[in-house]
Amino acid sequence: MATVILRALWLAVALQMAVGTSRAAEPPAPNEAAAAESAPVQAADNEAAAAVRERRRNAYAGLMALMGIALTGVGLVAIVVIWGRHLRRANRKPLPSADLKDELWFLRARQDVDRAERELTTDESQNDED
């Protein structure tokens, strides 16, 4: 079995070498008349190729600009969504209670207010000592 595979491999290599040696090593040199006739054709081909390259470059630049605009838009929408979620969460959280000790403090006489302030400061100092 191995000999069959080796013979097939040797035959394939031999055919490749035979085909390779039968070909000319160098392509034939073009004659001057053919070169003179093909010069305008080559110039037109070069101009067409340059135009195609320019169109591709412009299309690529346009595509990149469009991608930039799309990514910027998606980023801005994401920022608005995140900001809205944060704002909604902040608005749903209850506010801290603001219990007043004496809701009618502004109707009291001045000496009562001073006494209440003194009591408040003594209560705070006792709490600090504990």
The pLDDT, as a whole number, for residue 102 is 72
Walking along the chain (130 residues) 10 residues at a time, the average pLDDT comes out as: 68 69 53 60 79 93 96 97 95 80 73 70 60
Among residues 95, 125, 120, 127, the alpha carbon closest in space to that of 105 is found at: 120
* Structural domain range at position 82: 43-92
State the distance between the two ends of the chain, measured CA to CA, in whole angstroms. 99
Domain assignment present for 10: no
The pLDDT, as a whole number, for residue 6 is 66
Domain assignment present for 73: yes
The pLDDT, as a whole number, for residue 82 is 97
Which secondary-structure segment (H or E) carries 102?
none
The pLDDT, as a whole number, for residue 115 is 73
CB 42 within 8 A of CB 30: no
Domain assignment present for 97: no
The pLDDT, as a whole number, for residue 54 is 94
Domain assignment present for 61: yes
Domain assignment present for 82: yes
Domain assignment present for 114: no
The pLDDT, as a whole number, for residue 106 is 75
Structurally, the chain folds into a number of domains equal to 1
Domain assignment present for 74: yes
